[in-house]
Amino acid sequence: MTFRNWHDAAQASPLCVGIDPHPEQIAQWGLPDTPDALGTFAQNVLSAATERAKFIKPQSAFFERHGSAGIAVLEDLLAQAREAGVMSILDAKRGDIGSTMAGYADAYLNPARPLAADALTVSPYLGVGSLRPAMELAAEHGKGLFVLALTSNPEGREVQHARTQEGRAVAAEVVRHAEEVNGQLDVPLIGLVVGATIGTAAADLGIDLPSFSGPVLSPGFGSQGAGVADLEAVFGDAYSDGRVIVNASRSLSRRGPDSADIADEITTVIEALRPKGR
């Protein structure tokens, strides 16, 4: 599977189902904090998403905390998603330089590797150019990258809203660089992470999100407080055109552990998210 048909998938279903098995959620399901419970959580959410949502987003940290046993669960989850035809966006937010960045890219974007996903979240805040190895491998294998641009956490403003010597916002430079790389590709594979709760921040910083050619992954919907009106306000035509992939995690999995209950909630959210006219 490649990420090249992301737009068709997002048109069919704008929802990305986050798989975030943090300890509190595991406990709410009445499960112990063990790798086996991690596997149960991941499998039940994936089963609910299959044939409904087109994307899942496992949060790598919650698997890593269980060591090799947790990583094995993540490997199995990514393999099962491939078999089910569900695109995986691995939320690992990797960002480094040189051969280390190339190593991360190889681990998560090379189809020959056990942790290969269809797309990966990356951090550009060691310099956007430091992501070049990941961008090159994504292009080679038809994988996607989601570059952190405007995140919803308050601390992000200190860096993302800062101005360069030329007077441009750092986040605007991230968006510009991502668009330049997309312009060199036959299909725009480089996307952005932009929180649904940022309000007018993009416009205030001179960023024209509706004109961005790639996909936008938007956390913040549901439990974090954003609704459809926020998505429409933040993303405009990008949302109505089906270029925004909306992530929801806890608002879905809190319906568990019954996969059927989660599936019902996924269906309800997809219908609520589908822009009018589609």
Annotated catalytic residues are 93
> Are 264 and 33 within 8 A, CB to CB?
no
**DSSP of 74-113:** HHHHHHHHHHHT-EEEEEEEE---HHHHHHHHHHHH-TTS
242 vs 222: CA distance, rounded Å: 19
Q: Where are the alpha helices (DSSP H) in the chain?
A: 6-12, 23-28, 35-49, 60-64, 67-84, 98-109, 132-141, 157-160, 170-183, 201-204, 228-235, 237-240, 250-253, 259-273
Please give the DSSP secondary-structure letter assigned to residue 131.
G
| SS3 state at 201 | helix
C-alpha to C-alpha distance for 37 and 32, rounded to whole angstroms: 6
Q: Rounded to whole angstroms, what are the CA distances from 74 to 67, 114, 187, 238? A: 11, 9, 28, 31
